[in-house]
Amino acid sequence: MDEPSAQCRHDRGKNAPGIALAIAVAMVAPLVCALGVLGGIGSFATVRHLAQPWFGASAWTVPVGIDVGILALLAWDILAEYLGLGWPVLRWTAWAFVAATTYLNIAAAHGSATAAVMHAAMPILFVTVIEGIRHLIRQRTGMAAGTRIERIPSPRWLLAPRSTFLLARRMVLWHVTSYRDGLALEYQRLLAVSRLQQDYGRWRWHWRAPLQQRLALRLMPPDAMTRPTPDDAEPPFSEPPIRLIEATASILAEAEGGGTDLSQAALARKLRERGYRVANDRLRSLVRSARAVLADNAQRGEAA
């Protein structure tokens, strides 16, 4: 009985921030709506009276249209901010209309400082609350700290669902926030896999490649593609494995001992007979490494 109860307490503690946020939203949302409605009602009569000479019986549409437009612009702006598609023009236009409405109400006060403060109080409160909501959204989604992971475009999900899922998984595991950086890192990972396949075989590299190289594919740091490298640095995973070099050196030594000169095709065939697979464009560098090993062994033999 003690263990389930402890697990339940752990789950409640884990979900506490989400529950608190839901309660806060449920409490704040009606208050914000009420503040907006009260502000609209307070300025309705003043703006309608000022619009009466030009609009006549339809003067009520001016304050209603302005207030509805402000609410629509702010709601659209908050939604776009949450989706990471913020457009400042929406907010600036809404605040311009709020400022215009406030100015009309202050102008109707006929120079009374008390009336001017009362007319400006609600718009200032409304603007402050909306900006607080925007700040909360930016902090909650990670946009303020630059830690929000960009969404992968929908057409890619439709055209290549499996590779897109793997890309999204690696972006989350490596915390790559930029979609373009994720594509570049995935390209480098595919290059590393292709080199391992050339060295150890299409499938056998999963268990024959050194552990360090296999772990590098899973634990590759997100900034690996931006690290400065010397101009003469070798690309990762380009060096042939030691066992392959030793096997090549052994084959070359046997051929030289028998007085035969192996061609690249014959060398590749003998390597395949020993269980090694090497791409043709890598044979030349492999032979150079093998001959360097033979030369080093010869020097050691002479020194002994």
Q: Going from the first residue of the chain to its last (304 residues), give the mean pLDDT of each consecutive group of 10, the final group possibly shorter.
A: 50 60 77 78 80 86 88 86 80 89 80 79 83 78 62 86 87 80 82 81 80 70 44 44 78 79 78 73 75 76 61
Report the pLDDT value the prediction gives residue 248, as an integer from 0 to 100.
83
10 Å CB burial of residue 200 (0-12, 13-18, 19+) is: buried
Q: Give the pTM.
A: 0.47
The answer to whether residue 18 is domain-embedded is yes
Report the pLDDT value the prediction gives residue 8, as an integer from 0 to 100.
54
Report the pLDDT value the prediction gives residue 17, as an integer from 0 to 100.
60
Identify the residue whose tokens are 């209603």.
64
The answer to whether residue 149 is domain-embedded is no
Query: Are 135 and 47 found together in one domain?
Result: yes
The structural domain count of the chain equals: 3
CB atoms within 10 A of CB 284: 9
Residue 252 · residue 291 · CB < 8 Å: yes
At 277 the three-state DSSP class reads coil
The answer to whether residue 14 is domain-embedded is yes
What's CA 284's distance to the chain center, in Å? 41
Query: Are 190 and 98 found together in one domain?
Result: no
The answer to whether residue 148 is domain-embedded is no
- Enter the tokens of residue 151: 């969404």
Burial 22-52 (b: 16+ CB within 10 A, else e): eeeeeeeeeebeebbeebbebbbebbbebbe
Nearest to 61 by CA among 42, 41, 47: 47
Report the pLDDT value the prediction gives residue 279, as an integer from 0 to 100.
65
Query: Are 42 and 111 found together in one domain?
Result: yes
The answer to whether residue 177 is domain-embedded is yes
User: How many CA atoms lie less than 13 Å away from 108 in the CB half-sphere?
Assistant: 19
Report the pLDDT value the prediction gives residue 18, as an integer from 0 to 100.
65
Report the pLDDT value the prediction gives residue 301, as an integer from 0 to 100.
65
Report the pLDDT value the prediction gives residue 93, as an integer from 0 to 100.
92
Query: Are 52 and 128 found together in one domain?
Result: yes
Report the pLDDT value the prediction gives residue 11, as an integer from 0 to 100.
53
